[in-house]
Structure 1
Amino acid sequence: MNTTSKKVAAGMAGFASFLWLGLTAAVAANQRRLVFNPVAEREVKSPRSSGHRTRPVVLRAKDGTRLSGYLMTPHVPGTHPAVMYFGGRSEEVSWVARDAGRLFPNMTVLAMNYRGYGDSHGEPAENFMVDDACTMFDWLAEHGFVDATRIAVVGRSLGSGVAVQLAKARPVHSVVLITPYDSVLALAKRRFRGMPVDYLLRHRFESIKHAPALTAPTYVLRAERDDIIPHSHTDQLVSKLAQLCGDDVIPGSDHLNIPYLEETQQRIASFLAARFATAAPIALPAPVA
């Protein structure tokens, strides 16, 4: 190789290194925007469940941040099982209030927006989402209209990572995961090949690490066509779930429309109703020798 060729090769290598460093810096600086996409505008202007009393609620996080969402209670008075819902990356949760009658019949429902979403204040982050979820669970469990031993969690897409970590930290009764993933870290590695994602990414949502510790029965729903979370990443998570009760694909669904489809909602309602109807086993005394 002559001197000119060496200079050209060195220049190209230098440019490639500069480009790689620039892309790496961009990923590091914009990772919050890559992982989260806060949506402030309501998806449903006047959210109201046909099967519940619906009211907006405001809760305070441990650090005082204002969190907003919706509480739906069945029309029939008394103590009921409850469900907590956690949305996706670009999801404002007012639609849950609209569809709660079909999704969660005869159940109390709490659907709260993440920090920065809807009317909630602050900025989203993994540690905040998990801490806030625990605060919400404790608040819901303390209310007399809720059976604290029967609180389920439903997480969609990004929210499946919140649901898994909450189910590990609190005595959750049942878990439903819609289009879940093994980890956001694994998805980022797939998208940004060749970049040191391990060292850059702060919001990892590594559900696969927590899955073996889950003691609650877990139901997984996948989209038939999912261009956001490949089935291979769901496969990895499913293989580690300690209490997998079902793993179904919703026909005609994609990553965006799956929670709104009638079949999805019927399957979730049926699973939760069946789980809530199952009495906890009674421990019998050991026979005396």
Structure 2
Amino acid sequence: MSRILSILAVLAALYVAICVALLVFQRSLIYFPQPLSISQPDTLLRLPVDDGEVLVSVRPHAGPNALIYFGGNAEDVSLNLAEFSQAFPEHALYLLHYRGFAGSAGSPSEEAIQRDALALFDRVHAAHPQTVVMGRSLGTGVAIRLASQRPASRLLLITPFDSLQTIAARQFPFLPIKWLLKDKFESSTYAARIKVPTLLIAAEQDEIIPRSSTEALYRHFAPGVATLKVIPDKGHNSISESPAYLPLLRAAM
């Protein structure tokens, strides 16, 4: 009996240690900061924030139209500049580098990124009253919350999910994720507040975001607000390689 109790004590201690490690290091499992690839002076905006500045890759364009883009958790968004410039020639482009990415100040967290997103939208919208908000993967959580708080003209969500907490709970069913996770990105909470035309694009072979998560998010939008499209034969990271990808986005603009 004493040996059984000892084994149980060791297992309990190991379980607690895993929980503590997840609590302490979880953001290093969510965010993977990338360096900046394209850094010409005319492609960078330095946006002042509460404790420094964050970088925004830009393609200036006069007129009412703009696109704000929030990338994935391991994405150098500057690499989209050339492709987006060709795809959206009538839009000024603003691609946010999250805190800790590409020389942006601070460390990434859901609330810090959301504050930066609001600051960027307010600056862009003042010059471009028709501002489209687009997010990919983790960035869809930023984009949908922003669009629930600011007058975006349209919302585009690429490989979106209903909740980071739900996805994490599927991956670690033996851990109390609800109590441990700091950045939950509860997109489904904000979906019902969205009033502007919204496009959700899923990858048929997405190995990271389950289709059930995207469909659960889709069901939270009010009837007639959102459209869900699935790109065949592509995965989470290869969806943008599909010839259907940019035409779908252009059509939604």
TM-score band, normalised by the shorter chain? over 0.9
1:271–1:245 Cα change, 3 Å: same
Q: Which runs of 5+ in 1 are unaligned?
A: 1-5, 49-53, 273-289
The question of whether the paired residues in 1 share the 8 Å contact of 2:35 and 2:101 is answered with yes
CA RMSD of aligned residues (A): 1.7
CA distances 1:142-166 after superposition (whole Å, capped 9, x unpaired):
22xx2x1x11100000000000110
TM-score normalised to the size of structure 2?
0.94
Q: For residue 220 of structure 2, give the secondary structure of its aligned residue in structure 1.
A: coil
The question of whether the paired residues in 1 share the 8 Å contact of 2:85 and 2:93 is answered with no
Select which of 134, 147, 156 maps to 1:176.
Answer: 156
TM-score normalised to the size of structure 1?
0.83
1:11 is matched with 6
1:249 is matched with 230
1:269 is matched with 250
Residue 158 (1) aligns with residue 138 (2)? yes
Select which of 57, 70, 73 maps to 2:57.
Answer: 70
Select which of 73, 77, 87 maps to 2:71.
Answer: 87
Task: Please say which structure displays the higher CA radius of gyration.
Answer: 1
Residue 197 (1) aligns with residue 180 (2)? no
The question of whether the paired residues in 1 share the 8 Å contact of 2:68 and 2:94 is answered with yes
Distance of 2:94 and 2:105 partners within structure 1:
18
Q: For residue 145 of structure 2, give the secondary structure of its aligned residue in structure 1.
A: helix
Q: How many residues align?
A: 252
What does 1:103-252 align with in structure 2 at a 5 Å threshold? 103-143=87-127, 146=128, 148=129, 150-242=130-222, 243-252=224-233
The question of whether the paired residues in 1 share the 8 Å contact of 2:145 and 2:190 is answered with yes
29-38 or 235-244: which moved more? 235-244
Q: For residue 133 of structure 2, give the secondary structure of its aligned residue in structure 1.
A: strand
Distance of 1:154 and 1:105 partners within structure 2:
16
Distance of 1:226 and 1:29 partners within structure 2:
29
1:51 is matched with none
CA distances 1:30-63 after superposition (whole Å, capped 9, x unpaired):
1111121111242xx4789xxxxx62111111x1
Select which of 17, 21, 41 maps to 2:16.
Answer: 21
1:247–1:47 Cα change, 3 Å: farther
Q: Which runs of 5+ in 2 are unaligned?
A: none
